[in-house]
Structure 1
Amino acid sequence: MITAYLGLGTNLGDRVASLEQAIGMLKQTPGISVQRISSVYETSPVGYLEQPPFYNLAMEILTTLPPRDLLGRILEVERKLHRVRTVRWGPRTIDIDILLYGDQIVNEEGLQIPHPRMTERAFVLVPLYEIAGNILIPGKQQTVKYWLAQLPKDQEIQQTEIRLGLERYPV
C-alpha cells in the first residue's frame, strides 16, 4: 500500500454535495482506502478569476493502484460528476488532483507527481498542512509546512464550518 494525497476542489452547483459524492465514489473504488480528510476551505479562484469561489480540501488515501491507474479512477469520478474541461483553471463541478504518491516523482505525459504547482497555492497547501504538514515533498526536499510559509500572503483562503455528510457514502 502506498500513501497518497489528493486535492479536491469545486465551484459549480452544490459544492458540498460534489465533494461528498466524489469522496463517496473514491471510498467505493477498489484499491483505494480513504484515511483522513481535511476541513473544507473556501478559496478565491487562481488563474482565471471570473468565476465563483471554490471549496477545497485534501485527503490522505492508501492505495494499491499504480499512479496511472489511480489517475484513471480519478478521471472516472470527475466524469461521473459531470466535469467539463473548457477553460484552463476555469469553473468545474469537481477537480481531483494527485498531489503526492508516496515519495515517488512521476513525470509522464498527462501525469506529474508531485503536482507541479502545489507549492505555489494556498488552496492546496493549507488543507494538506492540516493532515500532513510535516511530510517532505519529493523533489523539493522541504515539508508542506515549509512551503506554506513561503507563500505570498495575498492568497485568500478561509476554513469553513462545513461538516461533510459522508455517512451517506459507506466505505
Structure 2
Amino acid sequence: MYTYYIGIGSNLGDREGYLAFAVNQLVGIQGVTGVEHSNWIETPPWGPVEQGLFLNGILKVKSTLEPLTMLETIWHIERLAGRQREIHWGPRTLDLDIVWIETEAGQVVCVEEANLVVPHPYFWKRQFVLEPLREVYPHFSYEGVSISDRIEELRVLES
C-alpha cells in the first residue's frame, strides 16, 4: 500500500469542476482505497507562459497501484478532462503531478524513470504545492526542514 501526494490544478473552464472530476475518477478506480484533498487555493501560474490563475490543491491517495501505473491512471484522468499537452507549463483543464510517495511503513519511495521523477523535482520550490501539502500532511519535512519553515522561507524570498 502506498500513500501518494498528488498536486492538482486547473486554470481553464470550470476549474473547480475539473478538480472535483479528478477526485471522483480516482475514488472509482480499483486499487484506490481512499482519497482526501486539501482546500483549493487560487494562485498565479508558475513558469514563463502568460495565462490565467490556477486553482490548486493536493490529493492524498491511498492505493495499491505501483507508481508507473498511478502515473498512467492520472494521465488517463487528465485526458478524460480534455487535457492537451501542447505548451509546456501552459494553460490546462487539469494537471495532476505525483509529488511524493510513501509506503505504509512511512518509507519514502523514490522513482527515476523517463516519465516520472519522485520526489517531484520542483515541489520544494513551489508554495502552491507546499501550502496544500501542509494541510494534508502537517508534519512533513524534507532534507531536515519542516514544511512550515520552508513555506516561510519561500514567503521571505518572494517579498
Q: TM-score, normalised by structure 2?
A: 0.90
Superposition RMSD in Å: 1.7
Please, which of 117, 120, 127 is the counterpart of residue 115 of structure 1?
120
Contact persistence 1:31–1:64 (CA under 8 A): yes
Which position in structure 2 is the counterpart of 1:19? 19
Rounded Cα–Cα distance in structure 1 between residues aligned with 2:20 and 2:57: 11
Which position in structure 2 is the counterpart of 1:75? 75
Which position in structure 1 is the counterpart of 2:33? 33
Contact persistence 1:48–1:88 (CA under 8 A): no
Q: CA deviation at 1:98?
A: 0.5
Rounded Cα–Cα distance in structure 1 between residues aligned with 2:140 and 2:149: 10
Which position in structure 2 is the counterpart of 1:61? 61
Q: CA deviation at 1:31?
A: 1.2
Letter of the 1:70 counterpart: M
Q: TM-score, normalised by structure 1?
A: 0.84
Which position in structure 1 is the counterpart of 2:153? 150
- For CA contacts below 8 A with separation 6 or more, give which structure has more relative contact order: 1
* Cα separation, partners in 2 of 1:106 and 1:69, compared to 1, 3 Å: same
Which 5+ residue runs of structure 1 have no aligned equivalent? Answer: 157-171
Rounded Cα–Cα distance in structure 1 between residues aligned with 2:146 and 2:63: 22
Give deviations 1:104-128, integer Å, cap 9, x for gaps. 1111111000111000001100110
Rounded Cα–Cα distance in structure 2 between residues aligned with 1:51 and 1:25: 26
Identity %: 35
* Cα separation, partners in 2 of 1:149 and 1:136, compared to 1, 3 Å: same
Rounded Cα–Cα distance in structure 2 between residues aligned with 1:89 and 1:61: 24
Pairing 1:99-138 to 2, within 5 Å after superposition: 99-102=99-102, 103-137=108-142
* Cα separation, partners in 2 of 1:126 and 1:32, compared to 1, 3 Å: same
Letter of the 1:121 counterpart: R
Which position in structure 2 is the counterpart of 1:161? none
Pairing 1:82-97 to 2, within 5 Å after superposition: 82-97=82-97
Contact persistence 2:27–2:35 (CA under 8 A): no
Letter of the 2:125 counterpart: E
Letter of the 1:151 counterpart: L
Which 5+ residue runs of structure 2 have no aligned equivalent? Answer: 103-107
Rounded Cα–Cα distance in structure 1 between residues aligned with 2:27 and 2:158: 31
Letter of the 2:42 counterpart: E
* Cα separation, partners in 2 of 1:101 and 1:28, compared to 1, 3 Å: same
